[in-house]
Structure 1
Amino acid sequence: MRPFFVSLTLCLGAACTAALAVPLAPGATAHPALAHPGSLGKRAGTAAGHRTPGAGDLPGTTQSLPLDALGPAAPGTAVRSTAAPPATGTRALPARTVRPFSLVGIVWDDIRSALPGRAQVRTRTLGTGRWTGWQDLPTDSDDAPDPGAGEHAGGRERGSTAPLWVGVSNAVQLRITPPQGNRHPAALPSGLRLELVDPGPEPHSVRGGPPPTPAADASSAANAKLAPLGATEIPAQDQAASQADIEAAGGKKPTAPAHLGARPRIVTRAGWGADERLRETRFVYTHTVRAAFVHHSASGNNYTCAQAPSVIRGLYRYHVKSSHWRDIGYNFLIDKCGTVYEGRAGGVARPVMGAHTLGFNTDSTGIALLGSFGRTEPSKAAVEALARLTAWKLGLYGLDPRARVPMTSTGGNLYHRGRVVRQHVISGHRDGFKTACPGARLYAELPEVRLEAARLQGR
């Protein structure tokens, strides 16, 4: 089926010109339009933007800045937020005022290509006018759909960095440093673009809320056995009542109590404000669920629990509009307060095909904890929610969270196509793909999560 939206990318003003200026230090004086937040209205046209026609009810936008003419960063220029001047060969996009955005990432044309070196951004916070320090954008394209999985929403899937949540900002600066030991700029992939995502307001702040659409009705109807049409959440229920959810997953009514954890409360797509007109309308299912792959969103930890729906809307728009996926890649998301959110549309109990673990998206479910957990411990509430969610979701398919299951790779950087791998029923992303995800601190929690999920199933 054809995508249900039109992708429109514009190129306005300075965004399409070569960028040859040296990056500004955080305390440096800039052009007046860059130095004062009040100048935003005068320079709002400096960034390209695209949005879905008729999306006035949830007016998220994506500004897309071409990076095909990055200029050199002067070797002797000191930058206050780093211990040393920019490395030789560093290329930069000078500080630029743009329309407000909250999430930033980089995309390029071919998902099979890599972005070499280290990519960093710093942003200016709206209101305070203060610049952040330099922050990394992980350059591995490790959350990705499987080849041939029909993810072509708005064109061929793009390569992408993990996006970074920066809060509401109105200016951005970028630099790309060559790989370690390489003093000369590496060849960058074609079609390189900086994506600046505004997730739009919270649904309850929009008068009357989003109007009903066929796509919204279909998304809600996929959970009809668990919640009424249009519900903003699927309520929690106890272990005994959750036995009926096996039928919602497509299974037969159990004749005896199954090992199934109690269903946790799940905020639906309507609850976090998904604009259903963005995604591809057709749902894609796998045969079953054999494993859960755990991720971190790598979008940073600088968000409040009240902002979590905005972060998810930003990820959704980035995956669909920027990366050209059919929908958000994860099947579920969990915030730092332990709230569970429905991810990809198609029904939380069903075996929905995700785009999260290249090589092992078939017959798996992808769960992302919002945040970055390489050096930061995940919250206790988030880890406990992960155990409750996996106890329920895996129990629907008769799976013991402590077990291993054989899975066949569809191809990736860790296992070649056709390789049969015995994966943990609860695996980390790095178990299926060579990546740092889900972060060392979260990965270290998974043995206890397996035991706790099994206990919650009554095993």
Structure 2
Amino acid sequence: DSGAGASAVMPSGLRLELIDPEGDPVDQARTGVMSAEATAASAANSALAPLGAAEIPALDGERTRRELLTLRGAELTEGQRAKPYIGPRPAIVTRRGWGADEGLREKRFVYTGKVKAAFVHHTASGNKYKCSQAPSLVRGFYRYHVRSLGWRDIGYNFLVDKCGRIYEGRAGGVAKAVKGAHTLGFNSNSTGIAVIGSYGSKKPSSSAVKAVARLTAWKLGLYGMNPRGKTYLTSGGGNLYRKGKKVRLNVISGHRDGFNTSCPGGKLYKKLGTARSTAARYQGR
């Protein structure tokens, strides 16, 4: 799955089921029975949370810095080990927590070299959902990406609801460089974050923008990236840049910066400057 272009969003008029006919996968997850696929998805986060956890807990700054030395110590420069710039790890709802049917996706996890940039998206779905409905919405995006678009898994690496809750997207480990399908041409060495809702004419909530900042401060910090900085990514080919072209991008970019699309909506796009400065502050820069 080399996506995503504009077709990654939910098609207009498609209704997401808020209750699955087979029963609520979240309730099924609480039974304690885990398939081999569910065990593998959970084990990818074993350094962060117990097997079968519904949520990866938040950490304060000091514990996050200690964890960074454990996760990536051998790869850090002497300066990074002395003073790593990384934001406190936010709480993240795992795939088990939002009730992912792990039998839908392809079994193998795919990784890229590192995470040099984060691309912010919106899901182009409704804004009037209750935050308690967000797990069901994530399941809907997952089914659409896999069953309708034919992708190996949900395209986004993370999703954020309007209440500021963060959800694990594509399986493979939230601290790892999982290759997503979110920005056609720039899925390598990046991560994709989708804010649930449509933000062309409606402003995103301050909670959602803060969550994007918290998530990027941590995730980009794992790889030594400055949220206020610029980086170069090599295009894999798309409708803005030819294949092989080195493109200078903001470390926190919008989908439209790498692909000709209105995503993440004008109102959310205008908030990326706030997200960058806030994320840098969380990193201690």
How does the TM-score come out when normalised to structure 1? 0.58
Determine the structure 2 residue equivalent to 1:378.
204
- Rate the CA distance shift 1:200–1:310 in 2: closer, same or farther, 3 A: farther
1:290 paired to 2:154: no
Query: Among residues 142, 147, 153, which one is paired with 2:6 in the alignment?
Result: 142
String of CA shifts for 1:350-401, please: whole Å, max 9, x gaps: 0000000000000000000000000011111111111000000000000000
Deviation track 1:156-176 (CA, whole Å, cap 9, x = no partner) reads xxxx8646664659xxxxxxx
Task: Quote the residue 2:182 is aligned against.
Answer: 356
CA distance in 2, matches of 1:438, 1:199: 31
Q: Is the 8 A contact 1:296 1:438 kept in 2?
A: yes
Shift of the 448–277 alpha-carbon distance from structure 1 to 2, 3 Å rule, reads same
Greater percentage in helix: 2
Native 8 Å contact 1:165 1:302 kept in 2? no
Unaligned 5+ runs, structure 2: none
Over 3 Å counting, the alpha-carbon distance change for 1:375 and 1:405 in structure 2 is same
Cα deviation for residue 262 of structure 1 reads 0.2
Conserved 8 A contact 1:265-1:340: yes
Specify whether residues 306 and 165 from structure 1 end up closer, same or farther in structure 2 by C-alpha distance, changes over 3 A only.
farther
How many residue pairs get matched? 280
1:321 to 2:147 alignment = yes
* 2:218 alignment counterpart: 392
> Which structure has greater strand proportion?
1
Q: 2:248 aligns with which of 414, 417, 422?
A: 422
TM-score by length of 2: 0.91
| Structure number with higher relative contact order (C-alpha < 8 Å, ≥ 6 residues apart) | 2
Decide whether the 8 Å contact of 1:142 with 1:358 is kept in 2: no
1:229 maps onto 2:51 in alignment: yes
* Bigger-Rg structure (1/2): 1
Give yes or no for the alignment of 1:333 onto 2:159: yes
Of residues 432, 445, 454, the one that matches 2:271 is: 445
Structure 1 distance, partners of 2:32, 2:128, is 28
Q: Which residue of 2 aligns with 1:242?
A: 64
- Classify the secondary structure of the residue corresponding to 2:213: helix
* Secondary structure in 2 matching 1:321: helix
Alpha carbon RMSD of aligned pairs, Å? Answer: 2.4
Q: Which residue of 2 aligns with 1:268?
A: 94
The question of whether the paired residues in 1 share the 8 Å contact of 2:5 and 2:261 is answered with: no
Q: Where does 1:207-226 land on structure 2 (aligned, <5 Å)?
A: 209=31, 211-226=33-48
Q: Which amino acid aligns with 1:222?
A: A
Give 5+ residue unaligned stretches, structure 1: 1-110, 113-139, 145-159, 170-196
CA deviation vs aligned residue, 1:196-241 (integer Å, no higher than 9, x gap): x958643344496373111111100100000000000000010110
User: What does 1:19-418 correspond to in 2, within 5 Å?
Assistant: 141-142=5-6, 162=11, 166=15, 201-206=23-28, 209=31, 211-246=33-68, 250-252=72-74, 255-418=81-244
